[in-house]
Structure 1
Amino acid sequence: MAVLVTGGYGHIGSWVCHDFIKRGKKVIISGRSQHSLSYLEGLEDSIQFFRADVLDYASTFRMFKQFEDDIEGIIHVAGLMGGPHFATNPHNNIRINTFGTVDMLEAARIFGIKKFVYISSGSVYGKRDDVPDENTPVAPSDVYGAAKTSAEFFGLQYANEFGLDFRVVRVFFAYGPGHLPSQLYPLYQAVFGCLEGRLMVKMDAGADQQVDFTYVKDISQAIRLVFDAPTTKHRIYNCCSGWYATLPELVKITSRYAPGPVQAEFGPGRLMPRGPSLDFARISQELGYKPQYTFEQGVQEYAQWIEREQKRRGLK
């Protein structure tokens, strides 16, 4: 049996695959293309790849038909990250994040695959100054958050009406190996770009933005715990590191691992309509989740990966 990971060559999905394979499981990765990732090298015998687009239901159906006797559960990661770019093409991006999820839910229903873990986002809580727990009503404040919230609601109804074992992990600002900062949106470039050699940071806003960046390996741990649990007391679990700081404070830490002196300037206000962090007591108490990386430990490891990756890609 194998775990189906949609978007398994993406940032979070690839580490989920890595985590499961290291623990002896096989994975089926669905996605539009394969990628060369250094931390998946040597693990290819435990990976089966199927080229499928979440908006192409025919390809999704073919995949489920081919592997229907092999899939023990689904971890649905495929989708677009949040950020300013999401609102530039809202119709298409909402279709990917919401209706792409519905396609996967429907395939799971048809083929009788009960366990379905959906990777959602803290964006469902919207703009706030407190630290919400899972009982806090959702109140998305942008179209990305609305799309993630809608997908959650569809999954919960598939659980209520069709008996799907639907579980949600709401993650918060993943960072770490898998993407160079230059591949990500401005918030990430501002905080982590110096690790890649971008030593001048100037943003019109952001000085008042507090963020809890969560190391991608800790997010993978949380997803694995939610998936592996035979049963769960709840359907929804928050995941983050529990530590947050303003963007200028975060850059002070990342600049310690930059290749040269960093100059950073942030204007007043926030860059994104988000709160500072999430309350993850539920997943900690019920499933034993414990972040293994402080922000600085994650930054140090990320910086080392960036240096190796730049050499691997011939960028340095």
Structure 2
Amino acid sequence: MSVLITGGLGHVGSWVAYQLAKQGKQVIICDMAAGHFDRLGLDYLEEVRDKLVLEAVDVLDYHSMFELFRRHQDELEGVIHGVSVIAGPTFQQRPFKNISINAMGTLNVLEICRILGINKVVNMSSGAVYGDAPGPQSEATPYKATDLYGATKVAGELYGLQYSDTYGMDVRNARLFFVYGPGKRPSHMHMVYQGLFGPLEGLDDIQAPNGAEQALDWTHVHDTAAGIVKLFQKDSVVQRNFNISSGVSVDHLQIVEHVAEITGKRANVKLGPGPFVVRGAPLDISLAQQELGFTPRFTDIREGIRDYWQWLKSNAN
């Protein structure tokens, strides 16, 4: 049997693909970047390349998506939906496009799965569905969208829950939070991410406009992917929404200090006042621990930073 992952070449999706492929699964990756896979620098996927089927298709192209899913429907045990424009300061600059990808893309996947009888779907959602509610937020914390990105994630979850209730599908929402680690270079990310992790890549003189007065629940990408895989592979679940994160809140300025200690070099990093995005932290992960057996490895962010640094050094080119 196979698993189809939309956004399977993204930061989280690529590690989900890796972990499933290492278990011997065939993984069908549906990602616009599939046509230039060899230039993405995802060295870990080369290790499992024989288990991957790469398909370049736009999640908003309903007809092409439908044909792709139909070609593979007889071999699929389910779909993991990961295509998403991430939260950040630029999300609201192109609202129609970004909202369409996040919300309509999710609806396209659910509708295609309904028609083709593909019942199991794991939707990569976000702790943004809690908005600015103070942490720790459990899955019982009410929805509260405080920005456009959060609104798209609330919409995607509600689509999934209603498809489950109306059509008897098994749609599960993995609520992810702030992710760091191998597979994504700090230089390709927003300024606050560069300020926190950029010196691991050798970046210096980083001036971020905000983020100094905040502590967030940063999760190593290996842990994020492991939680999604556990949610997908669980035969049945009592709940349908699960927080997947480290469950630990870390002050941003402390992360800057940890990076300096680990690299042995203090870069010129300045984070401006205020939060990066208004979120409470940490997420309460007790439900995922109890029902899924999810145990994040990198709860001490210093260990995660060391692992990230080693990957960046080994992929310096």
Q: Same fold (TM over 0.5)?
A: yes
Please give the residue correspondences for 1:54-65 in structure 2 after superposition, counting only pairs within 5 Å.
Answer: 54-65=59-70
Q: Shift in Å at residue 243 of structure 1?
A: 1.6
Q: Which residue of 2 aligns with 1:314?
A: none
1:54–1:259: structure 2 CA closer, same or farther, 3 Å change rule?
farther
Shift of 1:267: 3.4
Q: Secondary structure at the match of 1:54?
A: coil
Shift of 1:247: 1.1
Contact 1:73–1:116 (CA under 8 A) maintained in structure 2: yes
Residues 69, 182 of structure 1: alpha-carbon distance in 2 compared, 3 angstrom cutoff = same
Question: Paired residue for 1:238?
Answer: 243
Select which of 238, 250, 272 maps to 2:277. 272
Map of 1:73 onto structure 2: 78
Match of 2:9 in 1: 9
In the superposition, the TM-score normalised over structure 2's length comes to: 0.95
The residue correspondences of 1:1-316 to structure 2 (distance < 5 A) are 1-34=1-34, 35-36=37-38, 37-258=42-263, 260-293=265-298, 294-311=300-317
The one-character-per-residue Cα deviations of 1:225-263 (angstroms, maximum 9, x if unpaired) are: 111111001000001112222211111112223363223
Using the TM superposition, give the Cα deviation of residue 201 of structure 1 relative to its aligned residue in structure 2, in angstroms.
3.4
Give the secondary-structure state (helix, strand or coil) at the position aligned to 2:210. Answer: coil
Q: Distance in 2 between matches of 1:198 and 1:50?
A: 34
Tell me the C-alpha RMSD between the 2 structures.
1.3
Paired residues in the alignment total: 311
Q: 1:204 to 1:79 in 2, by over 3 A?
A: closer
Q: Which moved more, 1:275-284 or 1:29-38?
A: 29-38
The offset of 1:212, in angstroms, is 1.2
Q: AA paired with 1:299? A: I
| Residue 65 of structure 1, CA deviation | 1.6
Distance 1:259 1:183, change over 3 A: farther
Q: Deviations over 1:94-117 (max 9, x none)?
A: 000000000000000010001000
TM-aligned CA deviation for residue 175 of structure 1? 0.7
Are the counterparts in 2 of residues 142 and 273 from structure 1 also a CA contact under 8 Å?
no
> Offset of 1:199 from its aligned partner?
2.8
Extract unaligned runs of 5+ from structure 2.
none
Other structure's SS at 2:289 match: helix
**Structure-2 separation of matches of 1:276 and 1:74:** 29
Q: Distance in 2 between matches of 1:226 and 1:29?
A: 19
Shift of 1:276: 2.0
* d(CA) in 2 for partners of 1:2, 1:90: 34
Contact 2:125–2:157 (CA under 8 A) maintained in structure 1: yes
| SS, match of residue 237 in structure 2 | coil
Contact 2:130/2:141 (<8 A) preserved: yes
Separation in structure 2 between the aligned mates of residue 68 and residue 202 of structure 1, nearest angstrom: 48
Q: Secondary structure at the match of 1:233?
A: coil
Q: Aligned with 2:27: secondary structure?
A: strand
TM-score by length of 1: 0.95
What is the CA–CA distance in structure 2 between the aligned matches of 1:178 and 1:141, rounded to whole Å? Answer: 29
String of CA shifts for 1:22-66, please: whole Å, max 9, x gaps: 111111110112224100113111111122110001110110121
Identity of aligned residues (%): 39
Does the CA contact (< 8 Å) of 2:245 and 2:283 recur in 1?
A: yes
Which residue identity does 2:293 align to in structure 1? G
Q: What is the SS of the residue equivalent to 2:211?
A: coil
Deviation at 1:200, TM superposition (A): 2.7
What letter is aligned with 2:88? G
